[in-house]
Structure 1
């Protein structure tokens, strides 16, 4: 994936400020952070979205993600943190390589003030659940 900026980071062609690296995972500080310590965690193997990744790839990222999130939170003396993964342009994904943002948070920091939740109309929740169950493979 010559055109993928994250693959180029993995290859060492683009410098990053690494916080963690092993054979399958790379974590580095985001150059456009939401808060101090904002870290990006990527699988070294290229895949675009979570549902397109090999299960083995996701299995290698998962344990690292928790470990790195805990380290970021402790290092930044955070009150909490968000782990975000945008899949597809409509969801805000800018780099088409699976990645997870770890965003350290402080109480009252004003970041992500309100989740845009709503209530399902009567019966709609069951319809949607059935549609999802039918498409599981």
Structure 2
């Protein structure tokens, strides 16, 4: 989406987040005030950041909309901007506290993609050289496909 279209999209009043926040009573992410299941790092008007209960690595956090919403594609423009702002703020803090060499940012959009909780959450995972034997391909490793060795060549970041 072009910047002008994004600005127009975000300024439409019908796309603003509702004032009341809908919650589902048995949803882990809707129970954000329950400190026995959620450790909140920071928040803004429409989203919050929590530490993952089963982190892939130290510092693994999730950005979660306060409104009960299942799909990233159902977020309002305001929620998208607020989620992005929290990703950036969390990245700055993680740079300071964990000093990662990179990040994996991920959403399991749909059950077929691995979603297990039906409330959108965006993973921010700090990565370090050596945390996996061969990180090449990143998310491409979640499905069978060609080996990263097959990609080496003129379009690869690896020297030929």
Q: TM-score range by the shorter chain?
A: 0.7 to 0.9
Alignment counterpart, residue 39 of structure 1, candidates 45, 61, 64 = 61
- Which sections of structure 2, spanning at least 5 residues, go unmatched? 1-23, 147-160
1: CA distance between counterparts of 2:134 and 2:68?
29
Per the alignment, residue 18 of structure 1 pairs with 40
Per the alignment, residue 97 of structure 2 pairs with 75
1:74 deviates by: 2.4
TM-score (ref. length: structure 2) = 0.65
Does the 8 A contact of 1:85 with 1:99 survive in 2? yes
Does the 8 A contact of 2:47 with 2:79 survive in 1? no
Does the 8 A contact of 2:49 with 2:86 survive in 1? no
- Which sections of structure 1, spanning at least 5 residues, go unmatched? 119-137
Does the 8 A contact of 1:86 with 1:92 survive in 2? yes
- The number of aligned residues is 116
**Secondary structure of the corresponding residue to residue 28 of structure 1:** strand
RMSD: 1.9
1: CA distance between counterparts of 2:105 and 2:135?
15
1: CA distance between counterparts of 2:85 and 2:108?
19
Could you say if the C-alpha distance between residues 32 and 92 of structure 1 is closer, same or farther in structure 2, counting changes exceeding 3 Å? Answer: same
Per the alignment, residue 121 of structure 1 pairs with none
**Higher RCO, 1 vs 2 (CA within 8 Å, ≥6 residues apart):** 1
1:76 deviates by: 0.6
1: CA distance between counterparts of 2:88 and 2:119?
20
Superposed CA deviations along residues 19-45 of structure 1, whole A, max 9, x for unmatched, are 112222211111111100101111111
**Secondary structure of the corresponding residue to residue 35 of structure 1:** coil
Does the 8 A contact of 1:73 with 1:81 survive in 2? no
TM-score (ref. length: structure 1) = 0.75
